[in-house]
Amino acid sequence: MSTGVAVIGSGNIGTDLMIKIMRLSASLRMVAMAGIDPASDGLARARRLGVATTDKGVEGLIAMPEFADVRLVFDATSAGAHRDNDAALRAHGRTVVDLTPAAVGPYVVPPVNLDRHLAEPNVNMVTCGGQATVPIVAAVGRVTPVAYGEIVASIASRSAGPGTRANIDEFTETTARAIEVVGGAGRGKAIIVLNPADPPPLMRDTVYCLCPDAGADRTAVARSVAAMVDAVREYVPGYRLKQEVQFDPVEAYVPALGRTFSGLQVSVFLEVSGAGHHLPEYAGNLDIMTSAALRTAERLVEVRRA
């Protein structure tokens, strides 16, 4: 028996998520979509697909008769809006999967820590950069300690909508914190680059890990990274390594650590292409978020039905 779900946010992310639920999920059933723009393409598409809609946001969703059939809600709005949305939904006992950088609930990156947070009423999907790179920091960290992790996420400017642009500060702060809390690095830093190139490039992510043990088993690290890439690719088929993992001895002053660091730098270069369910292939940054949210929700309902 499938579980009824709703999506708040009728932009690109919310629309892509709706389509993924309807095409890919056997355990989730799309019941309703809520937005705030009556003329949005997302709400129009939902209506064409037979999904109930409202343009009155979360309050409109709660007032819909279909809400009684909704057990889990995806929030694809903004960090600011999410706090109010979560409070409203929590009062009605609904589980929330948060695709904004609000981080009301714990950070969740499916192949790293999903099963630790299955009882939470609200889980946060970090950011697109976090979903792409935190697994790699964790993969290195399960072989050798990571004192500092830095990631650079480069995305097509055309794939960065108003919500992404409005939340740049939250993006960098949330991703950096997730590198530490979920990835296990002692310190984390995140940089986002909006690439205006035409044609739009695919999402590229670079992960730098500074490891104190210069003699760490490089073969074991490379194997751990490859295994993690395979784990992410199970739900994000366009996720891949661009080249072999790089290892470089390093001794340099690291401002984020406030000291000279001596050890091993592990560099990992990734590319993410979208599945093309609703968004173009170059929008891998959005696709990895909706794919991670779908995987998370399916696991949540699987455990709670058991």
Residues of the binding site: 10-13, 159-167, 285
CA-closest candidate to residue 195, choices 166, 164, 162, 159:
159
Residue 211 a catalytic site member: no
Burial pattern 165-202, b for ≥16 Cβ within 10 A else e, equals eebeebbbebbbbbbbbbbbbbbbbbebeebeeeebbb
Tokens of 8: 């708040």
Annotated binding residues for NAD(+), written as ranges, equal 10-13, 159-167, 285
Active-site pick, 34, 51, 128, 297:
128
**Structural contact between residues 290 and 13, judged by C-beta atoms closer than 8 angstroms:** yes
- Alpha-carbon gap, residue 23 to 37, rounded angstroms: 25
**Which amino acid appears at position 52 of this protein?**
A
Residue 244 burial by Cβ neighbours in a 10 Å radius (0-12, 13-18, 19+): exposed
Write out the catalytic residue numbers.
128
